[in-house]
Amino acid sequence: MQDLAVLFKGNNLARLLGGLGVTLKLSLLSVALSVALGLIVGALMTLKNPVVRAFFRLWLETVRIVPQLVLLFLVYFGLAKAFNIQISGETAAVAVFTFWGAGEMGDLVRGAITSIPVHQRESSAALGLTRGQCWRFVLLPQAARRLVPQAINLATRMIKTTSLVMLIGVVEVLKVGSQIIDAARYDAPQAAVWIYAVVFFLYFLACWPISLVAGRLEKRWA
Amino acid sequence: MSDKPILEVRHLSKNFDANGVLKDVSFAMKEGEVIVVVGPSGCGKSTLLRCINGLERPDGGEILLDGQRIDTGADLVQVRRQVGMVFQSYDLFPHMDVLGNLTLGPVQALKRPKPEVEAEAEQALARVGLAEKAKSLPRQLSGGQKQRVALVRAMLMHPRLLLLDEITAALDPEMVREVLNVVLDLAREGMTMLIVTHEMRFAEAVADRVLFLEGGLVLEEAPPKQFFHHPQTERAQQFLNTFEFDAVR
Amino acid sequence: MKKLFALILVLAIALIPAAFADAKARTLDEIKESGTLTIGVFSDKKPFGYVDETGEYQGYDVYFARRLAEDLGVELELVSVDAPNRVEYLTSAKVDIILANFTVTPERAEVVDFALPYMKVALGVVSPDAALITDIEGLRGKTLIVSKGTTAETWFTANEPDVNLLKFDTYTETFNALLDGRGDALSTDNTEVLAWAIENPGFTVGIESLGSLDTIAPAVQKGNDTVLAYINEEIEALAAENFFHADYEATLKEVYGDAVDPDNLVVEGGVIE
C-alpha cells in the first residue's frame, strides 16, 4: 500500500490533475480549431479545381505519412534552427495537432459531403432552393450526422496523441506520471502500476464525456 | 383554359448525357394538359425533363415557359419555383420528418409563413391518405408512401407545370397503384403535367397526348387511344409489342 | 506514386535543417539582460534531475543549475528534457545550457561544446540475482535494456554487436522493462544502476565498470564561448568551497549511502585525478 500512497504524497495528485489540465487544454484547443478549419477545408476539398485538389492532397498525405512526433520536432526545433523562430512547446503542439486534425477532419467532411446522393442536391434544386439554402438545410445537416462518429474518433485519438508533447518539453499528464514514478522509484518501486492506472483513468475521464455526447447525438439522429 | 401554350419546346438538342441524347425535339403543351412521354430506355426521356427543369443545359434549341426563354441558365431558381419535378428514386430528405420535407420549399424558397404552409401540408397529406404520417421520418415510410409525399411536396410549391420522371419505376408492383391514383387525381384537378412512365395502361388513362421518343427524336405524337391501338410507325409498334407476352402453350 | 511522395517528403524534412544555419544561442550578456537563465535538465532521472512530490525540481544537476543562475544574478528557468533530444535543445537555441547528466563523447563534442566536467562515470550492468551477469562474456546473445541516446546504447552498438539491445525512450520505461523481465539485464551509467540496485532487492550490479571512464559535463551550443567561459570559471572557482562534494551530500548521499565513495563520482574544479 506504500506504492499507492505515493499518489497522495505531497502535491502528487494535484500535479497529475494539473498535467491533465495541460493535456486537455492542448487537445481541446487543437480539436476545436481542427473542427472549425476542417469544415472549411472539407468544403474546399470537394472542389474540382486541380490546383486546389493537389494542394489538399499534399496536405493530407503529409499528415498521414509523417509521424506526429516528426512534425512536432520540425515545428519546435526545426523552425528555430531554420528561421530562428522561437515558439513555445505548447504553441508548437497546438499548431501541429491543428495541422494534423484540420487535414484529417477536412477529409472526413469531404467524405461525408460526397457520400450524400446527388439526388439530394437535385431534389432540393427542383424545390427552388438556392445553393446556399441547399447546403444549409439539406447537405450540411446530413453531412454532420455522418461525420459525428468519425470526428469523435479523431478527437479521442488527438487527446491520446498529445502525450508526445513531453518530448518537446511540455509537461502533460503522462510526463507528470513518469516524474512521480521516478521520484519514488527508490522508495516505492511498484508505484508505477498505480500511477499508470490513475493516468489511464484520467484519460478515460477526458474521453468519456465526448463519447457520451456522441452516443446521444447518434441516437437522436439515427 | 387559354390557347396560349404554357410550355413550348423548339428543336431541343442535347449531346453526351448519361440519361440519353436529344437530337431534335419540338412540342407544345397547353395549360391543364397532360402529356405522357414513352419510349425505350436511353431514348432521351429523362434528359428532356431534366433540360426543362434546368438540371441540364441544352446544347441547342429553345424552351419557353409562358412565352419566356428558360433554357439560358439564368434565373434557374425562379424557373424551378414554377416547374416542379419528382424523380424515380425516393428523394425525400432523410433527416427531416414528412412535414419538414413538405414545408422546406414553400417556407424557404417562397418565404411563406410556416403555420400557413403547415396547415396546407396537413390537408394535402390527408388527401393522399397520409394524414397520420406528418411526424414520421422518410425511412419509416414504404416506397409508395414516400412517392406520395414527394408528389405532395412538389405540389405545395403550386407549380405551373409538374414533371414526373418514372416515379413508379423503383416501386414494388403493389405500391404502384396508390401512387398513380394520386397522379390521376391531379390530372382531374387540371394540373399541367409532363410524365415519363413505363406504365402503359396508366399512360393511356391519364394522357391527353402521347409523345413517342426514340433516338432523341419525336417519332409519333398522338392521342392515347390512337397511339396505343393504332400506332402509325413501325418503331412504335415494336415498342408496344415488348409489353405483350405470348402464351407459353 | 505514394512511395515517391513519401521519399520526397522525407528528403525535404532531412534537408530543411541542414540548409540553414542553426539558431544562434544567447550570449552571456543577452542572458543577463533578459534576467533569466534557461537550463535543460532531466525531470525523471533521480537523483540527478527529477521533480519531487511538491513539484520542485531536485537533484545533483539541478543543485548546480541553481548555483549558476544565482552567481549570475538572474532567475532560473528549468526545462524538462529527455535523453534523445538534449542536443536538439542546444542547436535550436531553446535552452542556454544542458545540465542533464550529459556524458562527454567525441561524437557529441562535434555538435555541442562541453564545459569542464563535474562528474565521472563508467557503464554498469544490473541484472536479477537469479541470473546474475558478471562479465561481458555472459551478456553476449542476451537481451540488454538501454535508453535511447545514452552512452550505453552507443558503446554496446559499437563494441558488442552480439548483445541484443532493447531500447526505450525514457529512463522510467527502461527500469520498468527490467522489472517486468522483458530483458536479461540493463545497462546505463554505473551511478544509475548502483543506486537502483540498492533500492531494488533481488537485483545486483554484476558489472560495476565497463567501457572507458567517462566524464559528465555541462554543454552549450557550439561556439557559444561567453556562456562556456562563464561555466568553466564557475567550476574552477567553486573548487575552493568543495561545492560538488556539498552537492553530493545534498542530493546523491541519500541514494548511494555508504556503498560509493564520493571521490569516485565527484569532480572538483574540472580536474580528473
- Tell me the nearest-neighbour CA distance from B225 into chain A, angstroms: 32
What is the radius of gyration, based on Cα positions, of chain B?
18
The nearest alpha carbon in chain B to A131 belongs to: B77
Comparing CB atoms, the residue among B84, B94, B104 nearest residue A137 is B104
Taking an 8 Å cut-off on Cβ atoms, the answer to whether C88 and A183 are in contact is no
C-beta neighbour count of B243 within 10 angstroms: 11
* Grid cell locating B223: 392521342
Q: List domains and CATH numbers for chain B.
A: 5-90+160-241 (3.40.50.300)
Beta strands in B58-196 (DSSP E): 60-65, 68-69, 83-86, 161-165, 193-196
Which residues neighbour A136 within 8 Å (Cβ) at sequence distance 6 or greater? none
Class of the CATH-defined domain A2-221: mainly alpha
- Tell me the nearest-neighbour CA distance from C36 into chain A, angstroms: 16
Buried b (16+ CB within 10 A) or exposed e, C78-113: bbbbbbbbbbbbbbbbbbbbbbbbbbbeeebeeebb
Rounded CA-CA distance C126/C120 in Å is 19
Do B and C touch, 3+ Cβ pairs within 8 Å? The answer is no
* pLDDT tens-digit series, residues A97-149: 999 999 999 999 999 988 898 889 999 999 999 989 998 999 888 988 888 88
Rounded CA-CA distance B132/C184 in Å is 75
Rounded CA-CA distance B106/B112 in Å is 6
Rounded CA-CA distance C69/C74 in Å is 5
Rounded CA-CA distance A54/C158 in Å is 45
* Of A191 and C48, more confident: C48
Counting every residue written for chain B, the total comes to 249
- Are C96 and C220 spatial neighbours (Cβ–Cβ below 8 Å)? yes
Amino acid at B85: M
Per-residue pLDDT of chain C (273 residues; tens, 9 = 90+): 455 555 555 555 555 555 555 678 899 999 999 999 999 999 988 889 999 989 899 999 999 999 999 999 999 999 999 888 899 999 999 999 999 999 898 989 999 999 999 998 889 999 999 999 999 999 999 999 999 988 899 999 999 999 999 999 888 889 999 999 999 999 998 888 888 888 888 999 888 888 878 899 999 999 999 999 999 999 999 999 999 999 999 998 888 877 677 887 899 998 886
Q: List domains and CATH numbers for chain C.
A: 24-118+217-264 (3.40.190.10), 122-214 (3.40.190.10)
Tell me the count of A-C CB pairs closer than 8 A.
119
Amino acid at A149: P
* Grid cell locating C124: 554498469
Task: Give the position of cell 559528465.
Answer: C216
Report which of A53, A51, A58, A95 is spatially closest to residue A73, judged by C-alpha positions.
Answer: A95
**Helix, coil or strand: residue C21:** coil
User: Domain limits of chain A?
Assistant: 2-221
Q: Which residues pair with C210 in a beta bridge?
A: C123
Rounded CA-CA distance C127/A158 in Å is 38
DSSP state of C266: B
What pLDDT was estimated at residue A48?
A: 86
- Chains in touch with B (3+ beta-carbon pairs under 8 Å) read A
Percent of chain B with pLDDT over 90: 65
Q: Which pTM value belongs to this model?
A: 0.71
Rounded CA-CA distance C267/C115 in Å is 13
